[in-house]
Amino acid sequence: MTRTLRLVRRRLVGSVFVLLIVVVGSFLMLQAAPGDAVDAYVVSMGGDAGLVESLRHAWGLDQSAWTRLANYLWALLHLDLGWSVTFSRPIRDVVLERLPNTLLLMGSATALSFFLGSALGIVAGARPGSLRDRLLSTGSLALYAVPSFWLALVLVIVFAVDLRWLPIAGIETIASSKTGLARVTDIAWHLVLPISALGFIYLALYLRMMRAGMAEVWRQDFVLAARARGLPRRRIVLAHVARNALLPLVTMLGLQSAQMLGGSVVIESVFSVPGLGRLAQEAVAGRDTPLLLGIILVSAVTVVLINLAVDIAYALLDPRVGAGEVA
């Protein structure tokens, strides 16, 4: 286990630098924005030049960019993300309120795409070049070419508008007083379409990776050796070929988490799911720069944590990771 611990420690140290770059970079980018939170406030609330001046001073916006960056970093150390003008609430509270919905959506969509995708990938990769393989891989390519927002709309037209099987939007029935299991079921029911829209596209990615990985493993000597040892084909496919081909998929799981978070912006917007992605769109609409910065930062931290978990999982799956000590 020291092997895994060493890896985690190294990743954590690297992550601190990465997050620092993210904070400074996105802060500088958002500084370049024409207009600031005060403008946004005045546009929505009204006010004169005097109010603008006093607000700028009160929010520290009259200081230099570097001073404000230092102030921002200092506040971050105290887990203070600033104040959202659009919501008139601390950004941390707004973001943390929305985060669980996005994590639920992302987690479910990831599970769907990873497990179903790799399973279908094994089916395709078990006999490379077979009709089954060609159908599955070309079909998955077509699926991978579908824009997620459009798939979402088509799902809405078919399952919500025409068939009326599933709810059109939202995360739960509005103004229902459901509690406990009934509420969980209600939320799950609402999330079926969003999860499918987000998950099916990445399913294609995992299917293709699994298939391509297996095609590569089939060519390796140890598979010929396994055949020479007379192992049943089923065991060769599952215990050797698929097992080895799975490793890059686990890496992809980490890389993909950032893309999934980005993809949830559109999906949450189509289905009106009150999550982080929709919040980002609201922040853009309201010119709420500090809120946007907070969302980017929280997303980055989420991605870092997911990657850490993925690294640990990978180290458990691949005995070679971090093992340079044996000659």
Partner 1 sequence: MSAAQQAPLVALRGLTVAYGDDAPALSAIDLDIRAGERLALIGESGSGKSTLALAFADLLPASAKTAGTIEWEGTSPLGGRDIGFVFQNPAGSLDPVMAVGRQVAEVARTHLGLSWPDALARACDLFGRVGLPDPDTLVHAFPHQLSGGQKQRVALAAAIAARPKLLIADEATSALDTIVQAEIVALIRRLAAEDGMTLLFVSHDIALAAELADRIAVLRGGRLMELGPTRQVIGRPQNSYTRSLIAAHIGLDSPPLFAAANMSAPANG
Partner 2 sequence: MRRRFLQTPEAVAGTAILVLLAAMALAAPLLFPGDPLRIAGPALTPPFQDWALPLGTDRLGRDVLAELFHGARTSLVVGLAAAAASLAVGAVIGTLAGFAGGLADEALMRLTDAFQTVPGFLLALAFVSIVGPSLSVVVAAIALSAWTGPARIARAEVLSIRERDFVAGARVVGMHPLEIAFREVLPNALPPVLALSSIIVAQAILIEAALSFLGLGDPNRVTWGGMVAEGRTVLRTAPFLSIVPGIALVVTVLGVYLAGEGAVEGAAVRKGLS
Partner 3 sequence: MGKHLLTVESLSKRFHSGGRAVAAADALSFHIDAAETLALAGPSGSGKSTVARLLLRLIEPDAGSIAFEGDDWLALQGNALRARRARMQMVFQDPLAAFNPRATVARVLDDPLRIRRIAPRSERPARIAELLERVGLSPNLAGRTVHEVSGGQRQRVAIARAIATKPSLIVLDEAVSALDVSVRGKILELLADLQRTDGIAYLFISHDLGLVRAFAHRVAILDGGRLTEEGDARAVIDAPRSAVGKALVAATPRLHRLTGQDAS
Q: Which residues bind partner 3 (CB under 8 A)?
A: 323-327
Binding region for partner 2 (CB under 8 A) out of 47-55, 75-83, 156-164, 310-318: 156-164
Q: Which residue has the tokens 């049943």?
A: 232
Q: Tokens at residue 36, please?
A: 């600031």
Does the footprint of partner 1 cover residue 280 (CB under 8 A)?
A: no
Asked if 283 contacts 291 with a C-beta cutoff of 8 angstroms, the reply is yes
Gyration radius from the chain CA atoms: 24
Q: Which is nearer to partner 1, 201 or 223 (CB)?
A: 223
Does the footprint of partner 1 cover residue 226 (CB under 8 A)?
A: yes
> How far apart are alpha carbons 3 and 56 in whole angstroms?
52
Shortest Å, Cβ 117 to partner 1: 21
The sign of the torsion formed by the CA atoms of 157, 201, 143, 134 equals negative
Shortest Å, Cβ 258 to partner 3: 31
Shortest Å, Cβ 296 to partner 2: 6
Closest CA to 264 of 304, 303, 290, 208: 303
Q: Which does 60 bind (CB under 5 to 8 A by kind): partner 3, partner 1, partner 2, none?
A: none
Shortest Å, Cβ 28 to partner 2: 11
Strand partners, 210: none
* Count of beta carbons in the 10 Å neighbourhood of residue 323: 10
Does the footprint of partner 2 cover residue 315 (CB under 8 A)?
A: no
Q: Which residue has the tokens 């490793």?
A: 247
Binding region for partner 1 (CB under 8 A) out of 102-110, 233-241, 267-275, 298-306: 233-241
Shortest Å, Cβ 325 to partner 3: 3
Q: Which is nearer to partner 2, 11 or 183 (CB)?
A: 11
Does the footprint of partner 1 cover residue 221 (CB under 8 A)?
A: yes
Does the footprint of partner 2 cover residue 244 (CB under 8 A)?
A: no
End-to-end CA distance of the chain: 19
* Count of beta carbons in the 10 Å neighbourhood of residue 267: 29
Crossing angle for the helix pair 276-285 and 289-317, nearest 10 degrees? Answer: 150
Closest CA to 61 of 43, 80, 41, 88: 41
Give the H or E element holding residue 83: strand 83-84
Q: Which does 10 bind (CB under 5 to 8 A by kind): partner 2, partner 3, partner 1, none?
A: none
Shortest Å, Cβ 142 to partner 2: 6
Shortest Å, Cβ 200 to partner 1: 30
Closest CA to 178 of 190, 165, 169, 187: 187
Closest CA to 261 of 295, 309, 292: 295
Q: Which is nearer to partner 1, 50 or 230 (CB)?
A: 230
DSSP-derived 3-state class of residue 171: coil
Binding footprint of partner 1 on the chain (CB under 8 A): 220-222, 224-232, 235, 239-240, 243-244, 247, 317-320, 323, 326-327
Binding footprint of partner 2 on the chain (CB under 8 A): 14, 17-19, 21-22, 25-26, 29-30, 32-34, 138, 141-142, 144-150, 153-154, 156-157, 161, 255, 258-263, 265-266, 269, 277, 280-281, 284, 287, 292, 295-296, 299-300, 303-304, 307
